[in-house]
Amino acid sequence: MSAARAARPRAAAASPPSVHAPVPGAAPANAPLVAPAPGAVPANPPAPAKTPRAALRALTGALLLAACAPGPRPATTGAGPRPSPDEERFVSALVGKMTLEEKIGQLTQSPAWGGADVPMNDSVAAEVRAGRVGSFLGIPWPQRQRELQRTVMEESRLKIPLMFAHDVIHGFRTIFPVPLAEAASWDPDMVQRDARIAADEATASGIHWTFAPMVDIARDPRWGRIVEGSGEDPFLGSVMAAARVRGFQGPGLGTDSTMMATAKHFVAYGAAEGGRDYNTADISERTLREVYLPPFHAAVRAGVASVMPSFNEIAGVPMHANAGLIDGVLRREWGWDGIVVSDWGGVQELIAHGVATGPEHAAMLGILSGVDVDMASGTYRAGLPDAVRSGRVPMAVVDQSVRRVLRAKYRLGLFRDPFRYLDPDREDRRARPTPAHRAAARQAARQSIVLLKNDGGTLPLAKDVGTLAVIGALATDARSALGSWAAVGRESETVTVLDGIREAVSRRTRVLAADGVPLDKDDDSGIPEAVRVARRADAVVLVLGETAEMSGEAHSRSTLDLPGRQLELARAVVATGRPVVVVLMNGRPLAIPWLAANVPAILETWFLGTETGHAVADVLFGDYNPTGKLPITFPRAVGQVPIYYAHKNTGRPPVDAERYTSKYLDLPSTPLYPFGYGLSYTAFAYDSVRVGAERIGPTDSVVVSVDVRNRGDRPGRELVQLYIQDEVASVTRPVKELRGFRRTGVLLPDQRERVAFTLHPDDLAFTDAAGRRVVEPGFFKVFLGGSSADVRQARFEVVAAAAGTTKKK
Ligand code: NOJ
C-alpha cells in the first residue's frame, strides 16, 4: 500500500466549495444554480450598480447563483496570466479615449459579406472607419483581411486593429477527422498536434480566433451536432477539450501561430430535448455539474481564451442571459476572465425566447449576464446606447467587456503589428497541406477508425484479392469525406475511399465501382447494377452511411437508420454471397442491427478528412491494425436513445426473466456496440485486476493494474480503460465512470504488458446532497478492460480516516 499512498493535494477537505455556499454580497444560500429568467425591464430603473451581477439583480430582482467560491474574485484569466502592468496601463488609457459608440464597436463582431473575390463594400468600409466593428468572422481570405485592417489602421480615429475569427474546427486547409472521429483515437497528444497544425495553417491565413473546441457532451445521436464533439463521456471529453485548447493556442497568445480557442457551447447544448437542434434543455444541477460542465472546466484550466454560450435555455433561462452560469460559475467560481462571445444572433434571440421585449432589453440582458461580444446580430449596436444612457447598463460593465477584447488584441500582439498574421511569405509556405500536414492527417484518420466486426478474419483484405468491387455513392464523395466543418479544405486535395483503394491494391487487382443508391432520396434503381458488379468480384467493399450534410448544425434526424435505400442495397449485395466489408461514413452513431447481424466485417470511419481514402485503405489491407474505440454508444434502435454506459442502476435494473424491471418489451436494454468498444486484427486477454491496497483512507491514492496479453497472431496495441463504481453512496452513482485510459506499446503475439493507473481521491469523489465534494467511505469497484462492457473487476474499500471504520458495506 505504501507506493499507492502518495496523497494528492486535492483531497476531500480541499475540494471545491459547495454549490450551496453563500457568496458574499450576492445570492442567498441555497439559491439555485440556474437563475430564474430575468423579468421585464422595470419602468423606473434603479441607480446603476457597480457589477454586472449587482446590476442584473437590481434590475430584475432575479436570484443569482450561489454556486460560487466565496471570497475575492481570482485574478487569473483564461487567456493567460494576470494582465501585466504595461498591458493594464495601455488598455486603460485606450478605454479612456473611447466614445460609447467605439466601445460598442469593440463588442460587435460582424459576419462576412461575400466570398473571397468580393471586395469590401462602402457600408462595411464606413462601419470600419467609424470604429463600429471590433472583429469579423468568416473571412478566411488574407487579401480581404488586409483591406479591412488597412482601413481601420489608416482611416479610423483610434486605429484599434481588427481580429479575424473563423470556425477552424477540425483543420483549416488540411482537414483532419471530425472531432467525434478523433475522439475515437483516445489520443490527446495526436488531437493536440492536429489542432496545432490547424492553427499553424489558419494563422498563416490571418485568423486570430477559432470557435473551437466544441466540448458539448452529447448522448442523443439524433442531434446533428454530435459530430462536432467528443462523444458521451465527461472524462474523455475533458481530456480532448484541454488537448485542443493547448493545440490551438500553442505556447501562448504572443507567439506567431497562436489562435485564440473558444470552448463552446456553454452549456448543455447537447441535452436538447428530442435531439432537435436549438431546443430546450431541462436538467438537474447534478447532471450539469457532473456531465456537461466538466469539459468546459477542463478548457478553462487549459487557459482557453474565450467561451461561447449555447442557443438553448436551461430550466427557463436562455444561456445568453444566464448570469448564474456565465458570471457565476464561469467567471466567479472558476476564476476565468476571458472573452465570452455570443453565438450567432444569440443575444437577439433572447427576444424570441420570450425574455426580452426588444433589442435594448436583449442587449442589457446579454451584457449584464457576462456576454462580452455580440456575434452577427447587431443587437449591442442597436440596444446598448440607450441602455447605457438610461443607466440600465452601467458604463463600468461595458468597459469591463471592452477591456477583455482589448487585452486579447494586446496579447495577440496586434497593437505592436496589426499585420503580423498577414505575412504573404508565411501564407505561401504554411497555409496549405504540406507533406508533413498530410502525413499527420493520415495518421489521425487511421487512428480514428473503429473496427466494429470482423468475423472469420474477413479483414484485412489481401492487396491481390483479384477483383474488388467498391460500391456506394460515398466511396467517391470527397465533400462528405471532409466532414461538417471543412473550413477552406478542398475536395480536389481529398483522397476518396475509391482513390485510396485504387492506390493501395496490387497491380494484379482489378477494382470495379458502382454508385449503388443515392442517400437523399428513395431511389433503388442503382441496385441491379451494384449487384452485377458485386457478382463479378472476389470481395466487396460497401460504403454506406450519411453525407456530411446529414449531421452538423441544424441537421438533426428523427431516425438513426441508414438514409435512402441503402439497407436494401446492402441486403442485395450480401445476397450475392461475396464476402462483404461495410465501410461506414457518418457523423453520428447509426442504428445498424441488420448489418451487425448479416455482414461479416464493419469499419466505422466517420468523416476522416483530407486523407480519408489512404487511411481507409491502410486499415482495409492491414497496413494499419485498428486501434480506435467508440467514444459513444451505438444503440440498436433510436427508441433506446438516450443510451450511455454511465447510466444509473435504477431500483429495478433490467432482468430478462423479470417483468417489472427497467427494460423494453421489444428490444434488449443493452446497446448494439458499447462505449469504449473496438476490435483489432489481433485479440487481447486480460488477467485479474490487482489493487495496491484492500483498504485506503479517503485522502489516499491507490494503484490498480492489469496484465494484458496479445493472444492473437499479429502485433497490435490495446487501449486499456479504467472505470470505477462507488457501490453505495449517499446519492446514486453511475454503474461505471471512466477514470483513465492508457495504450499499451505494440505487443507481439503472446507478449504481455502490465498497465497501471493511480486512482487519486478526486477520482473517487462526487458532490453530495449538501453540495460538498466528498469521498465517502465504503466499497469501490474498479474495472479494467478493452471496452466499457468487457472488463475485469476488483474491489477496494475506503475507510473513514480516524476511526478506520466503514460507513457502508
Ligand atoms: C453558429 C454555431 O452554433 C457556432 O458553433 C459557430 O461557431 C457560429 N455559428 C459561427 O459560425
In angstroms, the CA 678 to CA 602 distance is 11
| The ligand 1 atom nearest the CA atom of 311 | 3
Q: Which residues are catalytic?
A: 343
DSSP string covering 253-284, please? TTSTT--B-EEEEETTGGG-GGG-TT--B---
| The ligand 1 atom nearest the CA atom of 228 | 5
- Which pLDDT value is given to residue 306? 98
- Going from the Cα of 717 to the center of ligand 1, the distance in angstroms, rounded, reads 37
- Going from the Cα of 137 to the center of ligand 1, the distance in angstroms, rounded, reads 10
Q: Could you tell me if the CB of 343 is within 6 A of ligand 1?
A: yes
Locus of grid cell 470604429: 131
Q: Could you tell me if the CB of 681 is within 6 A of ligand 1?
A: no
- Which pLDDT value is given to residue 234? 98
- Going from the Cα of 323 to the center of ligand 1, the distance in angstroms, rounded, reads 21
Mutation test residue for ligand 1: of 210, 340, 344, 347, the one with most atoms within 8 Å of CB: 344
- Going from the Cα of 487 to the center of ligand 1, the distance in angstroms, rounded, reads 12
| The ligand 1 atom nearest the CA atom of 376 | 10
- Which pLDDT value is given to residue 802? 56
| The ligand 1 atom nearest the CA atom of 211 | 7
| The ligand 1 atom nearest the CA atom of 262 | 7
The residue whose CA has the least distance to atom 1 of ligand 1 is 344
In angstroms, the CA 197 to CA 431 distance is 10
- Going from the Cα of 311 to the center of ligand 1, the distance in angstroms, rounded, reads 10
- Going from the Cα of 345 to the center of ligand 1, the distance in angstroms, rounded, reads 10
* CA atoms 726, 728, 730, 731: torsion sign: positive
In angstroms, the CA 188 to CA 241 distance is 9
| The ligand 1 atom nearest the CA atom of 212 | 7
* Cβ neighbour number for residue 257 with a 10 Å cutoff: 19
- Which pLDDT value is given to residue 80? 53
Q: Could you tell me if the CB of 136 is within 6 A of ligand 1?
A: no
- Going from the Cα of 559 to the center of ligand 1, the distance in angstroms, rounded, reads 24
Number of alpha carbons in the 13 Å side-chain half-sphere of residue 225: 24
Tell which residue, 753, 690, 687, 689, has the closest CA to residue 718.
753
In angstroms, the CA 20 to CA 27 distance is 10
- Going from the Cα of 344 to the center of ligand 1, the distance in angstroms, rounded, reads 6
In angstroms, the CA 628 to CA 786 distance is 11
State the first-to-last Cα distance of the chain, in angstroms, to the nearest integer. 21
| The ligand 1 atom nearest the CA atom of 264 | 5
- Which pLDDT value is given to residue 278? 98
In angstroms, the CA 662 to CA 655 distance is 8
- Which pLDDT value is given to residue 460? 98
Q: Could you tell me if the CB of 166 is within 6 A of ligand 1?
A: no
Mutation test residue for ligand 1: of 109, 135, 167, 209, the one with most atoms within 8 Å of CB: 167
The answer to whether 766 touches 742, Cβ cutoff 8 Å, is no
- Which pLDDT value is given to residue 804? 42
The answer to whether 83 touches 77, Cβ cutoff 8 Å, is yes
- Going from the Cα of 794 to the center of ligand 1, the distance in angstroms, rounded, reads 45
Backbone angles phi, psi at 780, to 5 degrees: -120, 140
Backbone angles phi, psi at 755, to 5 degrees: -115, 125
398 grid coordinates: 461595458
Strand partners, 725: 781
Q: Tens digits of per-residue pLDDT, 739-792?
A: 999 999 999 999 999 999 999 999 999 999 998 999 999 999 999 999 999 999
Q: Could you tell me if the CB of 553 is within 6 A of ligand 1?
A: yes
Mention every residue, 6+ apart, whose C-beta is less than 8 A from residue 535: 576, 578
Q: Could you tell me if the CB of 264 is within 6 A of ligand 1?
A: yes
- Going from the Cα of 277 to the center of ligand 1, the distance in angstroms, rounded, reads 12
Residue 235: left if φ>0, alpha if ψ -120 to 50, beta else—which one?
A: alpha
* Residue 89 burial class via C-beta count within 10 angstroms: exposed 0-12, middle 13-18, buried 19 and up: exposed
In angstroms, the CA 80 to CA 57 distance is 30
With residue 306 as reference, give the H or E element that holds it. Answer: strand 306-309
536 residue type, one letter:
R
In 284-416, where does DSSP find H-type helix?
A: 285-287, 294-301, 323, 349-353, 359-369, 379-389, 395-411
The residue whose CA has the least distance to atom 11 of ligand 1 is 167
Q: Could you tell me if the CB of 344 is within 6 A of ligand 1?
A: yes
Tell which residue, 544, 551, 645, has the closest CA to residue 179.
551
- Going from the Cα of 359 to the center of ligand 1, the distance in angstroms, rounded, reads 21
| The ligand 1 atom nearest the CA atom of 265 | 5
Helix (H, G, I), strand (E, B) or coil at 64: coil
Q: Could you tell me if the CB of 216 is within 6 A of ligand 1?
A: no
In angstroms, the CA 372 to CA 25 distance is 23
| The ligand 1 atom nearest the CA atom of 138 | 11
Q: Could you tell me if the CB of 228 is within 6 A of ligand 1?
A: no
- Which pLDDT value is given to residue 81? 62
Locus of grid cell 433510436: 638
In angstroms, the CA 799 to CA 577 distance is 60
The answer to whether 654 touches 745, Cβ cutoff 8 Å, is no
Q: Could you tell me if the CB of 225 is within 6 A of ligand 1?
A: no
Low-confidence ranges of the chain (pLDDT < 50): 1-53, 55-79, 803-809
The answer to whether 109 touches 127, Cβ cutoff 8 Å, is no
For residue 642, whether the previous peptide bond is cis, meaning omega lies within 30 degrees of 0, is: yes
The residue whose CA has the least distance to atom 10 of ligand 1 is 344
Q: What angle do CA 71, 73, 78 make, to 5 degrees?
A: 145
In angstroms, the CA 598 to CA 456 distance is 13
β 719-726/374-375 pair status: unpaired
Mutation test residue for ligand 1: of 306, 553, 555, 556, the one with most atoms within 8 Å of CB: 553
β 719-726/737-743 pair status: antiparallel
- Which pLDDT value is given to residue 558? 98
Kindly report the pTM of this predicted structure: 0.91
Mutation test residue for ligand 1: of 308, 311, 312, the one with most atoms within 8 Å of CB: 308
The residue whose CA has the least distance to atom 7 of ligand 1 is 211
The residue whose CA has the least distance to atom 9 of ligand 1 is 344
Q: Could you tell me if the CB of 167 is within 6 A of ligand 1?
A: yes
